[in-house]
Amino acid sequence: MSRALLLSFSPHGKAAQTFRLARALLREQAPEAQVTERDYGGQALPPLTREYASALTTPGGLSGPATERSEQLIVELEACDLLIICTPVHNFTLPAALKCWIDHVVRIHRSFTVSPQFEKVGLLKDRRTFVLVSSGNSRKSREPDFLSPYLQAILATVGIHTVRFVYLGAMVRGEAAVQRSLAQAHEQLSRAFDRQTGGHATISAGA
């Protein structure tokens, strides 16, 4: 039985369109999956503490209460073989809630290490990952995208390489545009879900 971790980083939490779509998809495509749902957008993780920052940057400081939250989030991530991240675009990039999760999860000597050549090397096993990205603008706009390349790079840093991005654009352009985006994303996701392809891929939905 597969274990899915479904994360929302929208201020709308589990009511976000991306989250509801991901839930529906899991119900249809993996009804047997054991699903853990987390709302880190509506109920934000605590900001990093001074103790945590010191622990990460002090040799030998990587255990104890300062890293407890980080440990809990990494263990939760390690337990899944299917990861679904639901996130809006905020000001051309990822929302602060998602950055906070990353800062807890990307931890030296735990989820990544550094090679003698000073390259970061992931310590987590790769797992199938979908990133559902909701935005007000369409992908056809000329707006810069600082979310996708960053997220792809930081997930790779911890060892997660099999990532598919699915874009739900034009989500502020009225009900018809929202429904169109959702329907396109649903169809494309269903097909992508079936295919066990690896590597980075992008799927756009919405005008």
Residues in touch with ligand FMN (CB under 6 A): 10-12, 16-18, 88-92, 134-137, 143, 171-172
Rounded least distance, CB 78 to ligand FMN, Å = 26
Comparison of 114 and 183: residue with beta carbon closer to ligand FMN: 183
Comparison of 41 and 111: residue with beta carbon closer to ligand FMN: 41
Rounded least distance, CB 156 to ligand FMN, Å = 24
Q: CA separation (Å) from 125 to 71, 107, 109, 176, 199?
A: 16, 15, 14, 40, 14
Rounded least distance, CB 141 to ligand FMN, Å = 7
Rounded least distance, CB 18 to ligand FMN, Å = 5
Q: How far is CA 122 from the centre of its chain?
A: 16
Comparison of 93 and 162: residue with beta carbon closer to ligand FMN: 93
Which H or E run contains 59?
Answer: none
DSSP 157-183: HTT---EEEEEE--TTS-HHHHHHHHH
Comparison of 67 and 135: residue with beta carbon closer to ligand FMN: 135
Q: How far is CA 43 from the centre of its chain?
A: 16
Distance CA 39, CA 42 (A): 6
Q: How many CB atoms lie within 10 A of CB 191?
A: 10
